[in-house]
């Protein structure tokens, strides 16, 4: 759930998306500010292997993510296994996961350095891909696992079991297994419910189901979901919007709660999610539209 924290920060890494607008200049400004306060700072991108290895070794007290929600997802994947909290500064469009606007960070950094913030705990999933009982891949998931068709505009059959018991066979473009975090992403676009971020549930949402169950199903944290692809054409599995991995007929994706939890630094009160929800719903800034 959520916990209040007051520990001090001595070492911070700033991680940015290499294509994020103004990321370099903003990282330089933040670095100068933090170093004046006696904080050790390192800067790198999502693809900086040296910085990633230092994060994985637990050498930082916190990570500042510069970018959009995609950057926050990637940094969350990196930091969750080592228990390092993440502060998101929005340089992107939507910013559902981000805490601070680009022009706002100087107002809240005194609170950051004083430990005047709380940690939001967000459940993650673990996804495993099997081909003929051979494990082909294993991933940590913050938003969603999508199992579905490939380039061919033809549905696939997705034979779905929960805790070893047959649930249904979806005939659909895809099946989404999402966290509460992911409920405001692809799952929402597919008609699923919006869940508050502290919930620890697995949400199943079919995409364009044809003559099969078309309602979302919310499962408990302890559930184990098994999705078997039955198809004569291309299928794939996609983790948090990353490059899809091809699947073959009878390949299986297993999904269950991860042992790791993403921790986001928050300055707003815990009711921020509902307060920010309406503005996000009324306008998608990625379209460039304004009101």
pLDDT tens-digit series, residues 99-133: 998 889 999 999 999 999 999 999 999 999 999 99
Query: Which comes out higher in pLDDT, residue 152 or 208?
Result: 208
Least confident of 141-155, 166-180, 239-253, 271-285: 271-285
> Is residue 69 among the annotated active site residues?
yes
243 within 8 A of 170, measured Cβ to Cβ: no
What whole-number percentage of the chain has pLDDT above 70?
92
Task: Give the 3-state secondary structure of 83-145.
Answer: CCCEEEEECCCCCCCCCEECCCHHHHHHHHHHCCEEEEEEEEEEEEEEECCEEEEEEEECCEE
Residue 280 has pLDDT above 70, yes or no: no
Q: What sign results for the dihedral spanned by CA atoms 101, 102, 103, 105?
A: positive
Residue 274 has pLDDT above 70, yes or no: yes
The residue among 135, 121, 129 whose CA lies nearest residue 80 is 121
Which pTM value belongs to this model?
0.91
Write out pLDDT tens, residues 146-155: 999 988 889 9
**Average pLDDT of the residues in 213-227:** 96
Residue 87 has pLDDT above 70, yes or no: yes
CATH no., domain 2-116+267-287? 3.40.50.10330
Region of residue 22 (left: phi > 0; alpha: psi -120 to 50; beta: else): left
- Looking at residue 279, what is its pLDDT? 66
What's the CA angle centered on 196, arms 195 and 200, to 5 degrees?
80
Relative to beta strand 144-149, strand 174-178 is antiparallel
Least confident of 19-33, 71-85, 254-268, 274-288: 274-288
Among the listed residues 48, 69, 107, 214, the single catalytic one is 69
Rounded-to-integer distance, Cα 168 and Cα 44, Å = 45
SS3 helix, strand, coil % of the chain, rounded to 5? 25, 40, 35
**What are the extents of the domains in the chain?**
2-116+267-287, 124-259
Q: Which helix (H) or strand (E) holds 31?
A: helix 23-36
What's the CA angle centered on 163, arms 162 and 165, to 5 degrees?
65
Cα 213 from chain centre = 26
CATH no., domain 124-259? 2.60.200.30
Rounded-to-integer distance, Cα 99 and Cα 112, Å = 12
177 within 8 A of 227, measured Cβ to Cβ: yes
């Amino acid at each position: 759930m959520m916990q209040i924290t007051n520990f001090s920060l001595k070492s911070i890494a700033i991680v940015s998306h290499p294509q994020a607008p103004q990321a370099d200049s903003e990282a330089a400004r933040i670095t100068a500010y933090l170093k004046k306060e006696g904080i050790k700072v390192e800067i790198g991108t999502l693809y900086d292997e040296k910085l990633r290895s230092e994060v994985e070794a637990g050498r930082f007290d916190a990570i500042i993510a510069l970018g959009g929600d995609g950057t926050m997802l990637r940094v969350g994947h990196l930091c969750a296994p080592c228990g390092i909290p993440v502060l998101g500064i929005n340089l992107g469009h939507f910013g559902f996961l981000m805490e601070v606007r680009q022009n706002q960070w100087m107002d809240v950094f005194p609170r950051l350095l004083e430990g005047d913030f709380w940690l939001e705990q967000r459940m993650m999933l673990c996804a495993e891909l099997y081909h003929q009982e051979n494990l082909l891949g294993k991933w940590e998931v913050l938003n969603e696992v999508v199992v579905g068709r490939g380039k061919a505009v033809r549905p696939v059959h997705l034979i779905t079991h929960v805790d070893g018991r047959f649930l249904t066979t979806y005939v659909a473009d895809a099946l989404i297994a999402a966290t509460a975090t992911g409920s405001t992403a692809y799952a929402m676009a597919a008609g699923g419910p919006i869940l508050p971020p502290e919930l620890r549930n697995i949400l199943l949402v079919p995409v364009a189901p044809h003559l099969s169950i078309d309602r979302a199903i919310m499962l408990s944290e302890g559930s184990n979901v098994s999705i078997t692809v039955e198809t004569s054409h291309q299928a794939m599995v996609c983790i948090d919007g990353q490059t899809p991995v091809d699947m073959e007929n009878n390949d299986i994706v297993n999904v269950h709660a991860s042992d790791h939890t993403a921790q986001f630094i928050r300055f707003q009160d815990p009711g921020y999610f509902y307060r920010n929800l309406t503005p996000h719903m009324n306008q998608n800034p990625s379209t460039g539209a304004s009101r």
